[in-house]
Copies of this chain bind each other. A is one copy, B any other.
Amino acid sequence: MKNLKERIIKDGYVIGNDILKVDSFINHQIDTQLLDELGEYFSKKFDGVNKILTIESSGIAFGVGVARHYGNIPMVFAKKSKSKIVDENNLYTTVVDSFTKGTSNTVCVDKRFLKPGDKCLIVDDFLAEGNASIGLIDLCKQAGAEVVGVAIVIEKGFQNGRKRLEKLGIHVESAAIVDHFENGKVILK
């Protein structure tokens, strides 16, 4: 998506040689105009979606942006921490490793919110090794819900996420793909 790619070049920056920061418009301060354009972009890429599924917290804003362009369908986000007000017997759970944080989290979705008949579009801000998406696909499988595809704002083309997802037969779309980093600069495909 042209606007996103231009924005990454303009306002994204690289830390070390593997982390792309887009915190001024994607995941700390959010450009809600760009978010809306991303929602529209992805709604034309996937048909027959009746639910958006994402993960706390990185995917929530993007999930809302996409849901609106499918006529305000429900958006479910998998939760990371189990608060004292959650009944653990009624949850689908799976384990997800975070690439950027170096941590491992059990994430869960209440069984009432994923059902057979649901046609889920999984969305997230980044695709690196694909761990978050694979975790969400596992939750859908447990629930008997269908995965229509995976929609990603920024894909790291030099990591294995897309390969792993396509091996599972999943349709993957990204709005921008990072080819590589070069002297602290991001080179897009």
Contact = CB atoms under 8 A, between A and B. Distances in A.
A44 interface: no
A67 interface: yes
Given A61-B61, A84-B102, A36 B72 contact: yes
A115 to B, nearest CB: 11
Nearest to A108: B28
A128 B168 CA distance: 45
Contact of A85 (B15, B32, B67): B15
Contacts of A28: 76-77, 79, 109-110, 113
A75 B64 CA distance: 13
B76 A30 contact: yes
A47 interface: no
Nearest to A36: B72
Most B C-beta atoms less than 10 A away, residue of A60, A73, A102, A113: A60
23 contacts: A19-B85, A28-B76, A28-B113, A29-B76, A30-B64, A30-B74, A30-B76, A32-B64, A32-B67, A32-B68, A32-B72, A32-B73, A32-B75, A33-B72, A35-B72, A60-B61, A60-B64, A61-B61, A61-B63, A61-B64, A83-B100, A84-B100, A84-B101
Interface of A: 15, 19, 21, 23-24, 28-33, 35-36, 56-57, 60-61, 63-65, 67-68, 72-77, 79, 81, 83-85, 100-102, 109-110, 112-113
